[in-house]
Amino acid sequence: MLRKLLLSFAFSATALFATAQDRASNALTTSEIENMTWVEAMQDYRVNFHTVVEKFNAEFDGKPYEKGHGWKQFKRWEYMMGQRVGETGVRPHPSVLYQAIQQQQASSTTEYGEWSSMGPFNAPANNGIGRINGVAFHPNHHDTIYAGAPAGGLWVSYDDGQSWTTFTDELTNLGVSDLAIDPLAS
């Protein structure tokens, strides 16, 4: 499965790279840009960023917001692309972005340690395994660990995390944002 996925990715990347190089040699004319919709202009890196924004604004000017018409998607694109273009509005060539991603992936770093997934790998399908907002350790009993979940309450382990128990299942709702343990508690 992984092999098929990698082959598919390699083929797609090669096709995109070849297409990007082909488009670089084909500049758009003014009439071609004028005849484009804002969606077509947004998808073609050769169209200036500011031109795409103008096309979008002209399309939606005076119209009320309607769900499903691309407004949110465009605004996300505008925010993301606005940070990547200069004042001139020239958009980066896709191969530049592709090469930057490849360089980042090639330079794996161990600056933050060697992390590996420890599980659980067989989580229940319907209830999930949840999110933990806070972890605290008992100041005197080093095998005791407390964990707080935003929708799952307070959990405690007395055997260094091998098994967990909750005392908050009977409460109507307990969201834990942080934990504080009294250092004088025994």
In single-letter form, the type of residue at position 118 comes to: M
pLDDT digits (tens, 9 = 90+) for 7-28: 455 555 554 555 445 545 678 8
Per-residue pLDDT, averaged over 35-45, amounts to 91
Per the prediction, the chain carries an average pLDDT of: 80
Q: Give the range among 43-52, 114-123, 135-144, 150-159 with minimum mean pLDDT.
A: 114-123
User: Is residue 120 reached through a cis peptide bond, with omega within 30 degrees of 0 on the bond before it?
Assistant: yes
Sheet holding 134-137, edge to edge: 134-137, 145-149, 153-157, 165-166
In single-letter form, the type of residue at position 24 comes to: A
DSSP 136: E
Q: Please name every residue paired with 137 in a beta bridge, in sequence order, or none if there are none.
A: 145
Checking if the pLDDT of 77 tops 80, the result is yes
